[in-house]
Chain A
């Protein structure tokens, strides 16, 4: 399993054991991370699984893709390191990853 920590806007941290091969969003939902809504089920159509990747991990998670950008524009969220958790596939290389979540997804 891969340890990933979600830090909510109020500073509360939750570390989950994530399964490689699934998206970060699916792992968060399965582990009860409540700050991840993901109302579209992981298709990059709602922008409610936004996470902010800590600077040291941005190279490992990669840049936001073409489908993610319209969601960031629609939500008006331009926080550095922003990604949609549904578009990040968990791999063993992400063991120790830290992401922050917004105060409100929608």
Chain B
């Protein structure tokens, strides 16, 4: 127990986190990075115009050809321009008027599947939701079937995660990617691009067609949006469901409260269980600041989202306790640092929260809904986050 928990005046520092122990045992920031975790210092770094993306594959990415890389690796005006061009796709009004239609349609299919079979693997259901929503935003809507699209995207993303070091690892990785990206391009990207050349729509691919992105640029951008939107939301939905299944009072509150309160519950779970843990930044020039935010030229910091989210300066007392009233009481925005902060804050944050709310609201209202098997929790070293697999839910037949 750390000092913050020990000082908690209520419940002697109850710790409601499920993923904390696994994270503590496996966390590995980039070699040479200085880890910081104070909320306000972390936010100052992430919002600074003097830092650049680092970590993941950012340091290996050639940014001299911005048309061939994802917006994720860009900074400054170019990044701002590309983000702003599609920002409307993620605005709350767009979510309510457009994306919720997709979310409800997918939930109709999921409910029918679950009631028809009697039981299902929860992370497969959450994956279906995450893929359908992300595909609509990106514009991947001309594939043969949504299931095959999901399989091909998963194959590409799995290749990235499984990459092994050394020449043999690079060779294997290259061969796998060539085949899997080739399939994704042929069966998913090309049909979508051709359709949008004839009839532009309001999605990411239409924007890329209009701006004459290269083939490589389109693939990278689509996979960046897709990877982020699909992989993280799948885990978040399962984590929230797990908490709600085992906390009847919280579930009652979730099902009986207004949408604002449902979001407060989800955001509080996300505060304690952020899907990714580290955000790396390199200082392009020195940052003069007090405390952790001060950075020397070229220095790399790893912002620890878990620490920032439980910093008592922002979370208040009992920082490890699940308390949906916390953010309102502390007069702060609910997700804290879970979606990052600054120019690279997750554009799909609100989309993820809305699809999670709709998924759980519909699922938990099914007669006889119950958790048959708890998920197995493993660590994904690539995103430095947890994965929840194999949870089985069951319900009464329709």
Minimum CB–CB distance for B326 against chain A, Å: 14
Per DSSP, chain A at the interface is loop
Chain B: CB-nearest residue to A67: B84
Minimum CB–CB distance for A66 against chain B, Å: 6
Residue interface mask B288-321, A partner, CB < 8 A = 1: 0000000000000000000000000000000000
B347 proximal to A (CB < 8 A): yes
Chain A: CB-nearest residue to B267: A39
B92 proximal to A (CB < 8 A): yes
With known contacts A46-B350, A74-B93, A66–B331 Cβ distance under 8 A: no
Give the size range of B's interface with the partner: 20 to 34
Residue interface mask A42-58, B partner, CB < 8 A = 1: 11011110000000000
With known contacts A66-B80, A71-B87, A43–B93 Cβ distance under 8 A: no
Q: How many residues does chain A have at the interface if contact means C-beta atoms less than 8 Å apart?
A: 24
B367 proximal to A (CB < 8 A): no
Is there contact, CB below 8 Å, between B341 and A30? no
Q: Which of B72-91 contact A (CB under 8 A)?
A: 80-81, 83-85, 87-88, 90-91
A99 partner residues in chain B, CB cutoff 8 A: none
Which B residues are closer than 8 A to A by beta carbons?
80-81, 83-85, 87-88, 90-94, 96, 331-335, 341-343, 345, 347, 349-350
Given contacts A45-B87, A67-B80, 15 further A-B contacts (CB under 8 A): A32-B331, A38-B333, A39-B333, A39-B334, A39-B349, A39-B350, A41-B341, A43-B343, A46-B91, A46-B92, A66-B84, A67-B83, A70-B84, A70-B87, A71-B91
Which A residues are closer than 8 A to B by beta carbons?
29-30, 32, 38-43, 45-48, 66-67, 69-71, 73-76, 105-106
